[in-house]
Amino acid sequence: MARKAGGIIFASWISIAGNTLLALLKLIIGFVSGSFAVIADGIDSTADIISSIITLVASRIVSRPPNLKFSYGYIKADTVATKVLSMLIFLAGAQLAISATKQLIHYQETEAPGLIALYVTAFSMLGKIILSIYLKNVGRKQQNETLITMGKHMRNDMLISFTVLLGLITTIFFDLGIMDKIVALAISVFIMVEAITIFLKSNTALMDGIDDPELYQKLFESIKKVEGAHNPHRVRARKIGALYMVNLDIEVDPEMKVKEGHDVAKAVEDIIKDDLKYVYDVMVHVEPMGNTESDEKFGLSETYIKQNRARNKNR
């Protein structure tokens, strides 16, 4: 866990350094050249700096060991960080939208930005591409959703910079100054939509859901490989950070000794960890064959999964 946290921390520092350089360049050149679109791009990069700082703090929290208050550890700090990150991105986009709208309502012709704004924007595109590839690769390697989210955001930033570049070309070479403000407003809308998407996606993990329902079918297929494990039911999976916590009941021969029943349960746990990626822990409850409990309200059975898939096919 410490090694994983170290990789996330290092990646966060790389992101902070890269985005600080790009943000300063764009904000300075934006103000000097008078390009509101370049300033908007700089504000977006500043939001990326804040995002990296949040990831840095979250990575230190994630590395803490379990305790009496948080017996599952602090891995979900990654999900909380993603939620906070989405809200900050939205606020930056909303503020930018307000400013851009005011600029359009009270539009006045200004001197066209200099060519330096073009060069800085092109350099920003290259920097964002490099950061995006780096963060997504580290995020996948460390199974860190926040880094992956930041990497995707960097990729979108590259598209934003490309839009700014087109706006600058139109402004400088075709003397259409209003395009600079329109581009800034378009960027703000894009930022807010992206923030809402990130916010909604993180809801699944916070509500103990999973993104891939096919996981349950894989679980049942794995359990079938274990001799002596019957009728897996009350199966539940939830995400803790990027890892899965699995709970399930199995039935065994009621004549089995406790040690034999334990061995079957351990075999189920091991096969699930071998067959599925990113498993945090597996809890197996053993019951005698034919046991029924009317008050079992939670979890899924293989029958339910098959019925649900059949309903989806018929739609």
Residue 46 located in a structural domain = yes
Other C-beta atoms within 10 Å of 175: how many?
10
Which of 225, 243, 223 is closest to 235 using CA atoms? 223
How far is the C-alpha of 263 from the C-alpha of 258, rounded, in Å?
9
Residue 209 resides in a domain: no
In Å, what is the CA distance from 283 to each residue of 9, 54, 272? 31, 32, 11
Among 139, 173, 203, give the residue marking a domain's end. Answer: 203
Q: Are residues 174 and 224 in the same domain?
A: no
Closest by CA to 198, choosing from 16, 74, 34, 55, is 55
Going from the C-alpha of 233 to that of each of 28, 220, 221, 248, 300, the distances in angstroms are 61, 9, 13, 6, 6
pLDDT along the chain (315 residues), means of 10: 63 82 85 77 78 78 85 82 83 80 72 74 84 84 73 74 77 73 80 85 80 86 94 89 87 94 96 89 92 73 75 67
Q: Are residues 195 and 233 in the same domain?
A: no
DSSP string, 124-182: HHHHHHHHHHHHHHHHHHHT-HHHHHHHHHHHHHHHHHHHHHHHHHHHHHH--THHHHH
Residues 310 and 167 in one domain: no
- Residue 301 covered by a domain: yes
Q: Which of 197, 162, 154, 156 is closest to 183 using CA atoms? A: 162
- Give the C-alpha separation, 154 to 150, whole Å: 6
Q: Last residue of some domain: 153, 176, 203?
A: 203
Which structure tokens are listed for 182? 């329109």
Do 218 and 199 share a domain, yes or no? no
**Domain, as residue range, for 223:** 214-314
Co-location of 248 and 190 in the same domain: no
Q: What is the CATH number of the domain that holds 169?
A: 1.20.1510.10
132 lies in the same domain as 264 = no
Residue 20 lies in a domain: yes
In a domain, 208, yes or no: no
The number of distinct structural domains making up the chain is 2
Residue 80 lies in a domain: yes
Q: According to the model, what pLDDT value does residue 90 have? A: 86
Clarify whether residues 180 and 288 are in a common domain. Answer: no
Residue 96 resides in a domain: yes
224 falls within a domain: yes
Q: Note the pLDDT of residue 111.
A: 61
298 lies in the same domain as 163: no
Which residues neighbour 290 within 8 Å (Cβ) at sequence distance 6 or greater? 251, 254
Q: Within this chain, do residues 155 and 28 fall inside the same structural domain, yes or no?
A: yes
Work out the angle at residue 102's Cα, subtended by the Cα atoms of residues 96 and 104, and round it to the nearest 5 degrees: 105
pLDDT at 157: 75
Q: Are residues 44 and 149 in the same domain?
A: yes
pLDDT, position 198: 82
Handedness of CA 306, 307, 311, 314 (dihedral sign): positive
62 and 125: one domain?
Answer: yes
End residue of a domain, out of 171, 203, 235: 203
Are residues 137 and 33 both part of a single domain?
yes
Q: CATH number of the domain that 281 lies in?
A: 3.30.70.1350
